[in-house]
Amino acid sequence: MILNSVFKLFISFVFVIFAVTCGLWHIWWLAILLMIMLVSIWTKHVRLLITLLFLGVITLPITFNKISNRMDHLGTLIRSEGPQALSTTDRVGIYLGNISMAIVGFAIFAPEVAIETLLLMDPRGQDQTFNSSFAMRSSHISNIIETYTLGVRSGTLPKRSNRIPLKWDEDNRKAYSMDDYRVALAVAGGGLFLNYKNVGKDYEVECRITIDVKYSNNYKLSVFNAYGVRLYVDEAIFTALQDLNWFHPYYSHYLWKLSVKSV
């Protein structure tokens, strides 16, 4: 019973965040749907909840286009007049949009990028260190380490690497797994550092990925663009809040160790 109430409170918080964000982004129909859905959860009107969920799904193309159009408007405003041109309502909407994106990150099982996103709201802007080997889920990262290990074994590469840039080639998109996308969302653009130490006949490899967590003014992420429907993220609107000191960039470090054969 207690767990059920806690779950409802959590869902209520998520719905309120989404609803207010939608309202500030002028997606009024979805804001209304979400608030009615919230009431139906607590009043246990299951049929109404299912109906509203269905309506929310079939109106997603309109929602995606509305979000993209709002991105167009705010991005153009910022690039032409600067961050100071944003109204308080615009700033709050973008701020809550950042929280909404983090929630979506958790929902698609990409907690690392979700946490990175939320930590941008920490006014201290402190560097963060995580003892996590989640990056090894990516075959791309594993291949980089295997290739470097071959160089260390042959003596053609030093045991302590320089920064290895982390990029995911768009031409190889079909070869990537969902884990690759999860890792790429969190660390693409960062650097991998490897340090090989002899332990008996093997190597202990100290691995570190460092990523400068911040929004980039010139970066646009196209999520979907087909059949007259588009959804993209223009980071210029979030960069504007960095310039206004609402978001605070920092460095994130992921540390883990591996054991590999020296021969």
- The per-residue DSSP string of 28-84 comes to HHHHHHHHHHHHHHHHT-HHHHHHHHHHHHHTHHHHHHHHHHHHHHHHHHHHHH-GG
Q: How confident is the model at residue 59 (pLDDT cuts 50, 70, 90)?
A: very high
Shared-domain flag, residues 92 and 104: yes
Unique residue bearing structure tokens 């009431």: 39
Shared-domain flag, residues 50 and 145: no
Shared-domain flag, residues 44 and 146: no
Closest CA to 48 of 33, 61, 26: 33
Across 70-74, average pLDDT: 93
Shared-domain flag, residues 147 and 192: yes
In this structure, the number of other CB atoms found within 10 A of the CB of residue 123 comes to 9
Q: How confident is the model at residue 8 (pLDDT cuts 50, 70, 90)?
A: confident
Helices marked H in 127-219 — which ranges? 139-154, 178-187
Shared-domain flag, residues 29 and 43: yes
Shared-domain flag, residues 74 and 180: no
Domain hosting 185: range is 129-215+249-261
Shared-domain flag, residues 181 and 92: no
Shared-domain flag, residues 117 and 186: no
> Is the model's pLDDT at 141 over the cut of 60?
yes
Confidence (pLDDT) at 192: 97
Shared-domain flag, residues 108 and 85: yes
Shared-domain flag, residues 6 and 108: yes
Confidence (pLDDT) at 180: 86
Give the dihedral sign, CA 40/44/47/50. Answer: positive
Comparing 237 with 6, the larger pLDDT belongs to 237
The per-residue pLDDT of the chain, averaged, comes to 91
Shared-domain flag, residues 146 and 253: yes
Across 77-85, average pLDDT: 94
Across 244-255, average pLDDT: 97
Contact at 8 Å (CB) between 159 and 195?
A: yes
Across 156-163, average pLDDT: 96
Shared-domain flag, residues 16 and 112: yes
- Based on the structure, what is the number of domains in the chain? 2
Give CA–CA dist 115/186, Å, rounded.
9
Give CA–CA dist 119/45, Å, rounded.
36
Confidence (pLDDT) at 1: 59
